[in-house]
Structure 1
Amino acid sequence: MPLIKKRYGKGRVRVMRIHRDGDRHEVSQLNIKAMLEGDFARTYTNADNSNTVSTDTIKNVVNVVARENTGLSPEEFCQVLAQKYFNTYPQVSSVSITSHETRWNRLSFGGKPHPHSFVLDGNGKPTVELTAVRGGPLTLASGVDGFAFMKSTQSGWENYVKDRYTTLAETHDRICATSMVASWKWSGKPASYPATNAKILDTLLEVFSTTYSWSVQDSLYRMGEAALAAVPEISEISMACPNMHFIPMNLSAFGLDNNNQVFLPTDEPHGQIECTVGRG
């Protein structure tokens, strides 16, 4: 029987690149599918793998090219990646690469772009919850679901409980990112609900972005304090923040360092940090 078509590769290779230009960071999160065609027929027909590159190696090449090219656009990155496969494996006759980008937009405060803080493009779903009893009080809360934000530095996790089950290493410099569910209870009517909701989110983001985070717990409490101080019409604010993890890739096997520049994005399993801050 003839082998009519053949190709193989690696899908869902997720990679986050951080390009550091002094204090200013550029971030690029990609989901790559890399498929190869070439002289691989005997793997299918003769159980002969001697000419075939492992799919795990195909994934490793993505990470190596990411480390060597932190500042390239996705279009340029895909071109360099394809050429890397051609240069490394003469048995490859064609390469097909698909890239999907998760876009992070730079935050600005006071009209000044922030060097290392971002929000997810097309971000979050505004929410409202109302409870009313005939002849009784009405309770109203506003909020947002799935509001993602990130900073590429100025976050750490140190001095926590360590025992024989602990494997996580301390760090004073990590990506801190979350997809937040938050709600705030109204105790008075603001001049404008939309404008005040926007002010609350702006306040939360500014505290998160412009101060060092000793933990997500530390940031959330201070963010809640600031929101209550900024908006007297709310009585409390609740925030639930699942971590969006970015795991530094170990590239030492390829003779490359990784100074917090190339990461594996993952959200399973994730830390889940929750708190409610109210008025005393």
Structure 2
Amino acid sequence: MGIVLGPNRYGKAETRLVRVHRDGETHGLVDLNVSIALSGDLAATHLTGDNSGVLPTDTMKNTVYAFAGRHGVAEPEEFALLLARHFVDSQPQVHGAKVSIESFAWDRLGPHSFRRRGDHVRTTVVSVSAAGTQVVSGVTGLVLLNSTDSEFHGFVQDEFTTLPPATDRILATAVDARWRHAGDDADWAASFEGALEALIGAFTGTYSYSLQQTLYAMGAGVLENRPEVAEVRLALPNKHHYLADLSPFGLDNPNEVFIAGDRPYGLIEGSVAREGAPTATAEWWL
């Protein structure tokens, strides 16, 4: 029985980049975590140790900093496209490049003072290959909570079911969402802010009978408001809140005092796509 080399890639992970844009007395700040992965005609280094086709990962790191200095950094999608296309165009042995970026937001406190925003992280994944260019934007760690307008009942019950039906519960989650663009040219800032607003609006505006229903509403909300988006994929952990038993203290609890659960937790995942939208050119599940 023969042994063969399967799909492979290599790159530089988590290059931390902070770029200050000094436009007069008012400065701009960009804070990124950049990861690069290259694939292509790279079998020789695995099979024989021949590194003649290997671009050092240290060079990839240096390219990130050099491009930030030469071109500046506007939107993460734009920067990721610039990097991915550079590696594919400049290295004939590289047939595919994937650039993933985490963007950390800072709120302005003054012309050159900032405070790190910690409520979510913006994400970007750009893939460039012969199959095409794919841009996926997203957000992770966006914690949302509705204190009412959520029910859960009518579910399957078997011999191991102990969960009681709920007609008024807390619904909370930490949103991990990705949305795939139909093309590779957009107003990336407006697109991200619009998609984020649509996600939050659908969560707060949906009377929920299940987190699955809320997931669909959130994905559909992005597609209805952002025509440049072809598909949305979400992973929503159910951050359980359990009613605290106050009876040992002679107190009632009219749905006001809760225990915030940690684990285990329900995890709801799904995708919502636009009919007839271009198909994906690279795998991008969460």
Which TM-score bucket, shorter chain as reference? 0.5 to 0.7
Other structure's SS at 2:265 match: coil
Which of 118, 123, 133 aligns to 1:122? It is 118
Match of 2:188 in 1: 193
Scaled by the length of structure 2, the TM-score of the pair is 0.53
Of the candidates 221, 225, 229, which is equivalent to residue 220 of structure 2?
Answer: 225
- Taking a change above 3 Å as real, the CA distance of residues 172 and 268 of structure 1, as seen in their structure-2 partners, is same
Aligned to 1:151: 146
Question: What residue is the counterpart of 2:198 in the other structure?
Answer: 203
Equivalence for 2:29: none
Structure 1 length-normalised TM: 0.55
1:212 aligns with 2:218: no
Q: Aligned-pair distance for 1:136?
A: 4.6
- What is the aligned partner in structure 2 of residue 262 from structure 1? 257
CA contact (8 A) 1:131 1:140 kept: yes
The whole-number CA distance in structure 2 between the counterparts of 1:183 and 1:222 is 15
C-alpha distance in 1 between matches for 2:205 and 2:223: 18
Q: Are the counterparts in 2 of residues 238 and 277 from structure 1 also a CA contact under 8 Å? A: yes
CA contact (8 A) 1:241 1:273 kept: yes
Shifted more, 168-177 versus 187-196: the winner is 187-196
CA distance in 2 between counterparts of 1:244 and 1:203 reads 21
User: Could you list the per-position Cα deviations for residues 106-140 of structure 1 after superposition, in whole angstroms to 9, with x for gaps in the alignment?
Assistant: xxxxxxxxxxxxxxx8211111111111x551111
> What's the offset of the Cα at 1:180?
1.3
Residue identity opposite 2:134 in structure 1: T
Q: Which amino acid aligns with 1:274?
A: E
Q: Which residue of 2 aligns with 1:10?
A: none
Please list the CA deviations of residues 13-52 of structure 1 after superposition, one character each: whole Å capped at 9, or x if unmatched. Answer: xxxxxxxxxxxxxxxxxxxxxxxxxxxxxxxxxxxxxxxx
Amino acid at match of 1:215: S
User: Does 2:243 correspond to 1:240?
Assistant: no
Q: Does structure 1 residue 138 correspond to structure 2 residue 133?
A: yes
Q: Deviations over 1:79-98 (max 9, x none)?
A: xxxxxxxxxxxxxxxxxxxx
Q: Is 2:274 aligned against 1:279?
A: yes
Please tell me the root mean square deviation across aligned C-alpha atoms, in Å: 1.4
| More strand by percentage | 1
Tell me which residue corresponds to 1:170.
165
Paired position in structure 2 for 1:181 = 176
The size of the alignment, in residue pairs, is 159
Q: 1:62 matched to which residue of 2?
A: none
- Cα pair 1:242 1:270 within 8 Å, conserved: yes
Task: Report if the CA contact (8 A) 1:243-1:267 is conserved.
Answer: no
In structure 2, do the counterparts of structure 1 residues 191 and 249 end up closer, same or farther at CA, with 3 Å as the change threshold? same
Per the TM alignment, residue 191 of structure 1 is displaced from its structure 2 partner at its CA by 4.7
Structure 1 unmatched runs, 5+: 1-120
Q: What does the per-residue CA deviation read over 1:229-257, in whole Å, with 9 as the maximum and x for residues that have no partner?
A: 11010100000011111111011111111
Alignment of 1:29-40 (within 5 A): none
How do 1:14-93 residues align onto structure 2 when only pairs under 5 Å count? none
C-alpha change, 1:272 and 1:136, in structure 2 (3 Å) is: closer
SS in structure 1 at match of 2:156: coil
Change in CA separation of 1:190 and 1:222 when aligned onto 2, cut-off 3 Å: farther
Larger RCO (alpha carbons 8 Å, 6+ apart):
1
One-letter amino acid matched to 1:247: Y
Percent identical across equivalent pairs?
Answer: 38
Cα-to-partner distance string for 1:250-277 (whole Å, 9 max, x where unaligned): 1111111111111111220000000100
